[in-house]
Structure 1
C-alpha cells in the first residue's frame, strides 16, 4: 500500500544551488518563441517533458492551446534572446461555485540541452511557487516520469512529498499564503527581469549596428583599393 499523500509546507531552495537568474513572464506574442524552444527538444527531452515522445504537430497543438489569460508561462532568455528554458504554470479551473478560485496549479518545465547545469529549472520552480502563492494557490502539483530525477529532486528539495507509482510520480507541495514579503519579492523579480530583457535587446541592437558599420567600412575599403589599382 502506498504511503499517504501528505503536503508539507514549502521550504526555501538551497541558497547555493544557483545564482539569481532573471525570469520573464511570457505572453501570447511569445508563442513562436515557445514553439521554437519546444521543437528544439530531442526525443528524450520531449519524453521527459510531456510523458511521451511528442511529435511536432502535438507540440504545436499544445502551444496553441496555452491559455495566457488563465495560466502563467515564464522564460529564461540568453544574451542572443533565445528562449533557453521555460515553465508552464497551469491553474486548475475553478469550480462553478460563486467566489471559488483555483486552489491548485500544475508545474511543467523544459531546459534546452545547451543551458543544462545552470540551475534554470530550480529557478523557474522557485519563481512559479512565488507567483502561485500570490494568486492564492495552496498546492503546487508536478506530474513527472519517475525517471525524471532532476525535476523530482527540485520538488523534493523545496519540501514536496513525492509519491511514485511505477513509471510515474506525483509531487505535491503545500504553499504558504501570500504576504507582503512575497508580493514585494514578485514585484522586484518581475521588474528586474524586464530591465534585464531590455538591456539584452539594446545590446543586440548595438551589435547589429556595429556589424552593419563594419560591413560598410569593409565595402568602402574594397572600393578604395579597386580605384587605386
Structure 2
C-alpha cells in the first residue's frame, strides 16, 4: 500500500459547526508544490506518522510532494485569510488494469494543521472528494489508515463506508453512486465560488501589504520632517 495516501488522524474529532456548512475548497496544481510542502512539513512527528504510516522525515516529505502527479491525481485544499494552506487532501485515481482510462477507484488521504482542527475540515474535504470522484466515473472511494486513526475512520463510517481492521492498519471502502446533473452542477458551482473566495483573499492580502507600505512611508517621512525641524 502506498503510504503517501494514508491520513492524519485528528482531522475532525469534533462535529463541524453550522457555520461551516460550506467551506471554500480549491483545486491545487503544479504551482502549489511549495505550499503543499510547507503544509506537510508543519505537521508534528506524530501527525506525520498518522498521515503517512511512519514518522516521515523532511526529506521523505519533500520526495512525496515532488512525486505528486497533478495530471493523474487530484489535490485540493482549504486556505485561511492569510492564504496559508491549513488543510489538504490527495485523491489518487486507481484505474482498472483492463481500462486504464477509466478510474474505477480513488484513494483518499487528508491532513489538517493542528490549530485548524475541530472545525470539520477533514469531513468537508472527504465530501468534496466523494463528489469529485463520482463525477469522474469512480465506483469506489478507498481509505488506508492506521487503526488508531479514529477520526478518519469515523468520517468514513458516517459516509456509509465499510471498514475492515487488520492489526495496526485499517481499510475503508465506500461505494459511490453514479454522477448526475446535480452532482456535476454542484461541483462546478463549488469550484467557481471557491476560486472567487480565493481571489478575494488574495486581493485583500495585496491591499493590506500596500496599506502597510504606505503607513511605513508616512512614518518615515514624519521622522524625516521632525529631524529637519530640530
TM-score, normalised to structure 2, is 0.90
Partners of 1:115 and 1:183 lie apart in 2 by 29
Unaligned runs of 5+ in 2: 1-14
**Pairing 1:28-177 to 2, within 5 Å after superposition:** 28-95=30-97, 97=98, 101-177=102-178
Query: What is the count of residue pairs matched by the alignment?
Result: 216
The 1:100/1:211 distance shift into structure 2, 3 A limit, reads closer
- 2:69 match: secondary structure: coil
1:100–1:152 CA distance, 2 compared to 1 (3 A): same
Q: CA deviation at 1:165?
A: 1.1
| Structure 1 CA distance for aligned equivalents of residues 211 and 185 of structure 2 | 39
Q: Distance in 2 between matches of 1:223 and 1:133?
A: 63
3-state SS of paired residue (2:200)? helix
RMSD: 1.6
Aligned to 1:180: 181
Please list every run of 5 or more consecutive structure 1 residues that lacks an aligned counterpart in the other structure.
1-12
Quick one: distance in 2 between partners of 1:15 and 1:156? 19
Tell me how far apart the structure 1 counterparts of residues 61 and 95 of structure 2 sit (CA, whole Å): 22
In the alignment, structure 1 residue 219 sits paired with structure 2 residue 220: yes
